[in-house]
Amino acid sequence: MGTMQWMAHFEESVHRQREVPWERGIQMPDHVRQPVIDSLRVFQRGLTSSGIDLRSKVRQNCDPDYARCIDLYVQEKNVHAELLMRWLWDAGSEPTKRVLLDFGFRRFRRRFDWLRELMVILSAEMASMPFFRVLANSIDDPVTVGVLESILADQAYHLGFHIDTLREQLQHRSRWERLAQQQAWAAMFTGTLSAVLVETSDVFDALEYDRLAFWTDAWNLFAQVQSGLSGSQHLAPLLSRDPRIRFTL
């Protein structure tokens, strides 16, 4: 899709009513409830950001239409933060204040130019998606599933948006610069994924879910996105038919 089509998509999406059966209340087994609450508090905090640093960089270096898309992209991530905040309230908890991991992540990504900062944010998003999928598939609670499925559906579009719009930017870089960037990105994703595993350790224990399966799914997602961004044009027909990129994790 072109920039104007992505803008139209995000304009519609940020105002779309998310279908979550809040009236049913949150019903989870006791041994799962607190670990899930603790983990979603961390993700909720990570999604809460005005994105001023990124949006300013994009405005200085990119055309106004793309800058508007990034504004809407950040706004949609805040919609997700609102969904998780309401979920936490309904679960009898509340959003957490800034934690060291979140503070460090924000300081780290702001050190880069707009393109690399987006790739850092994309790493965090790719690390969260397989975890949200694990929760959505493992917890038999309509409210929790409704929130997570809504976020996952939007995140799938996020991957398509970044591949569609960043691929051309990366192709302007030299071969050696792209190779070095791929290696650095893989190392960064390893660190991001490791941090997610540490923060969600109690959830995996409570669900008795195989961490290796999660790790493998996450790397499969990363490999496909990296191929879409830096690989050959053989994926172009697929991406044009389905700009969302649908993953079965």
Residue 84 in contact with residue 33, Cβ under 8 Å? no
**Please, what sign has the CA dihedral across residues 148, 193, 81, 30?**
positive
> 154 CB contacts (<8 Å, ≥6 apart)?
13, 76, 79, 80
What per-residue string of b and e applies to 105-124 under the rule 16 or more CB within 10 Å gives b?
beeebeeeebbbbbbbbbbb
* Position 52 confidence tier, pLDDT thresholds 50, 70, 90: confident
The predicted-structure confidence for 32-50, as pLDDT tens digits, reads as follows: 999 999 999 999 988 888 7
At residue 231, the pLDDT reads 66
- Count of the separate structural domains present in the chain: 1
Contact indicator for 121, 109 with CB cutoff of 8 Å: yes
Predicted pLDDT at 101: 61
Query: Where in the sequence is the domain holding 104, given as residue range(s)?
Result: 3-12+27-241
**Is residue 18 included in any domain, yes or no?**
no
pLDDT digits (tens, 9 = 90+) for 178-187: 788 788 889 8
Q: Name residues whose C-beta falls within 8 Å of residue 124's C-beta, 6 or more positions apart in sequence.
A: 46, 105, 192
- Cα angle: 130, vertex 182, 178; to 5 degrees: 140
| Structure confidence by residue, pLDDT tens digits, 77-96 | 999 999 999 999 999 998 88
Segment 148-177 shows an average pLDDT of 85
Q: Does any domain span residue 41?
A: yes
Residue 134 belongs to a domain with what CATH number? 1.20.1260.10
d(CA 36, CA 78): 20
Asked whether residue 248 is assigned to any structural domain, the reply reads no
Q: Give domain status of residue 119, yes or no.
A: yes
pTM > 0.75: yes
Residue 205 vs residue 177, higher pLDDT: 205
Residue 93 forms part of a structural domain: yes
Contact 28, 38 (CB under 8 A): no
In a domain, 17, yes or no: no
Has residue 19 been placed in a domain?
A: no
- The model's pLDDT over 101-138, given as tens digits with 9 standing for 90+, comes to 665 666 667 677 888 888 888 898 999 999 999 999 99
pLDDT band at residue 247 under the 50/70/90 scheme: very low
In a domain, 246, yes or no: no
Q: Of 54-63, 120-129, 201-210, 231-240, give the lowest mean pLDDT range.
A: 231-240
Question: Is 238's pLDDT higher than 80?
Answer: no
Q: Is 240 exposed, middle or buried (0-12, 13-18, 19+ CB in 10 A)?
A: exposed
